[in-house]
Amino acid sequence: MINFITRYFTSLWAFITSPFRAVWRFISRLFPPREFTVMDIPRGNVYTFQQSSFWRFTKFCAKVGLIIWASWSTYVFVYHRPMLQKRTNQLEQMRTKYAQHMTDLQTYLGKYNELTKNINVIDDKLLKDKKLTDKQKEELINERLKTWGELDFLKTRITEMFTNEHYTPEYTKFSDLAVEYELIRAENTELRKRDTEMVETVAKIVDVDNKIIDTVSKLTNEKISDLRSDLKHINGTLATLGIGQDSLVAGANKFSNQLVGAVFNPLDIDKTLDEKYQKLADNLALWNGLNKLKTVLPLGAPVKTVRITSKYGIRKDPFTGTQKKHKGIDFAGKVGTELMAVAPGRVISAGERVGYGTTVEIDHGLGFTTLYAHLSKINVSRGDWVRPGTIVGLGGSSGRSTGPHLHYEIRYKGNPFDPEKFVKE
């Protein structure tokens, strides 16, 4: 051994430190010394610094240590903190349970002392009081048995408290129960008082409700009668078109635009309620439908001075002299006569049309449109919204016309029909 050391090493110390020097040579190859230059531009000086292998290795170790510390801290925060929080919550629950057990135990102990005292008093009376009657003795014995039963119950509860790990406290101090009883009794008294007041209030509300229902029902019936009377003169014309007033009312409730308003949603009444509510809801829907129908339908004359010169139907054609169907009615007028919209709607056509000349057509909804022909001037454009009384154009004699007049048509789903009943309100 000594020969081996003296052959390859200069001394025993060199032999002992050789592994460390080998490791250091390996580290020096991984982290060789470095030089870097720093230039001081303001002063024009150049400084050269050298980082040794030891310094570079030390920085590397510091960085590795920092990364390991950060990783471990993150792991502890992510994994151990929730576990610690869980353990803390469990400990808090155990503390709460322990406190509850102690409260129960104190309550049971107080009750035990009280029951034991009662048994001693009863025994003392039974043994010493010679004047007790048989009935009084029987009552005392029954009371003693009852007290023993309570003591046995306390024994069961205490045994369960110390042997059952799932035991949950069920009782509080008797004084607390007494306080709670008084609070509940006071609350019940207040609730009875409020209940009485509520019954009286509900009775008043029912009375007012009946009055409101009767008043609104009367008003709706009157309004419905008036609206039916106003629209009665067009029922015959509607019948010839194959539509009834009821179907038009249903359509009117579902119809909406920016001029006539939104869709009317019927009230949803519980079938278990009084029939008067459903009847009122039906009347409201009917009234709204008739009212909107009267607004939407093109009722009225398009001119201020009404003088019909040619009616709807078969007539002699003024140009050919042959019998031909006249699809509208003609109103007498001069060039420049103001022509008005008779109901709210939207202009769907404004321009020249073969045979009709300068024409305006308005869509009023529910399938009804009105057409104004032979105009000398158009005051609206296609897409415009018009209200009743809006001047849509001026009378003239454009197109196939023998003189100044207004050819006026009302159409249902594109087909013209006799508009006379609609014009004469």
Nearest residue to 371 via CA among 397, 351, 389: 351
Q: Examine residue 62 and state whether it is found in any structural domain, yes or no.
A: yes
Residues 43, 148: one domain? no
Residues 376, 418: one domain? yes
Residues 268, 323: one domain? no
Q: Which residue has the higher pLDDT, 378 or 221?
A: 378
> What's the pLDDT score for residue 367?
93
Kindly report, residue by residue over 136-171, the tens digit of the pLDDT.
888 888 888 888 877 777 777 777 777 766 666 554
Q: Examine residue 302 and state whether it is found in any structural domain, yes or no.
A: no
Residues 60, 163: one domain? yes
Of the three residues 242, 270, 296, the one that is the final residue of a domain is 296
> What's the pLDDT score for residue 147?
80
Residues 138, 234: one domain? no
**pLDDT of 327 strictly over 80:** yes
Q: Examine residue 74 and state whether it is found in any structural domain, yes or no.
A: yes
Residues 380, 354: one domain? yes
Of the three residues 268, 296, 324, the one that is the final residue of a domain is 296
Nearest residue to 421 via CA among 265, 273, 308, 304: 308
For the whole prediction, is pTM greater than 0.85? no
Q: Which residue has the higher pLDDT, 384 or 39?
A: 384
Percent of the chain with pLDDT over 90: 28
Residues 270, 315: one domain? no
Residues 93, 132: one domain? yes
Q: Examine residue 398 and state whether it is found in any structural domain, yes or no.
A: yes
Other C-beta atoms closer than 10 Å to the C-beta of 331 total: 23
> What's the pLDDT score for residue 422?
92
Q: Examine residue 228 and state whether it is found in any structural domain, yes or no.
A: yes
Nearest residue to 242 via CA among 417, 19, 121: 417
Highest averaged pLDDT of the listed ranges 49-58, 205-214, 309-318 = 309-318
Of the three residues 273, 296, 319, the one that is the final residue of a domain is 296
Kindly report, residue by residue over 105-145, the tens digit of the pLDDT.
777 777 788 888 888 888 888 888 778 888 888 888 888 88
Residues 7, 117: one domain? no
> What's the pLDDT score for residue 6?
63
Highest averaged pLDDT of the listed ranges 40-44, 317-321, 399-403 = 399-403
Q: Across residues 28-34, what is the average pLDDT? A: 83
- Identify the sign of the CA torsion 405, 410, 415, 417: negative
**pLDDT of 420 strictly over 50:** yes
Nearest residue to 403 via CA among 323, 303, 330, 340: 330
**pLDDT of 4 strictly over 80:** no
Secondary structure of the chain as H, E, C letters: CHHHHHHHCCCHHHHHHHHHHHHHHHHHHHCCCEEEEEEECCCCEEEEEEECHHHHHHHHHHHHHHHHHHHHHHHHHHHHHHHHHHHHHHHHHHHHHHHHHHHHHHHHHHHHHHHHHHHHHHHHHHHHCCCCCHHHHHHHHHHHHHHHHHHHHHHHHHHHHHHCCCCCCCCCCHHHHHHHHHHHHHHHHHHHHHHHHHHHHHHHHHHHHHHHHHHHHHHHHHHHHHHHHHHHHHHHHHHHCCCCHHHHHHHHHHCCECCCECCCCCCCCCCCCCHHHHHHHHHHHHHHHHHHHHHHCCCCCCCCCCCEEECCEEEECCCCCCEEEECCEEEECCCCCEEECCCCEEEEEEEEECCCEEEEEEEEECCEEEEEEEEEEECCCCCCEECCCCEEEEEECCCCCCCCEEEEEEEECCEEECCHHHHCC
Residues 63, 106: one domain? yes
Kindly report, residue by residue over 50-87, the tens digit of the pLDDT.
778 888 888 889 999 999 998 888 887 777 777 777 88
Backbone angles phi, psi at 373, to 5 degrees: -120, 165
Side-chain half-sphere of 129: how many Cα atoms within 13 Å? 13
Q: Examine residue 8 and state whether it is found in any structural domain, yes or no.
A: yes
Binned at pLDDT 50, 70 and 90, residue 186 comes out as low
Range of the domain at 42: 2-52
Binned at pLDDT 50, 70 and 90, residue 173 comes out as very low
Q: Examine residue 197 and state whether it is found in any structural domain, yes or no.
A: no
CATH of the domain at 383: 2.70.70.10
The total number of structural domains that make up the chain: 4
Binned at pLDDT 50, 70 and 90, residue 337 comes out as very high
* Whole-number average pLDDT of the chain: 83
Residues 100, 158: one domain? yes
Residues 317, 413: one domain? yes
Q: Examine residue 85 and state whether it is found in any structural domain, yes or no.
A: yes
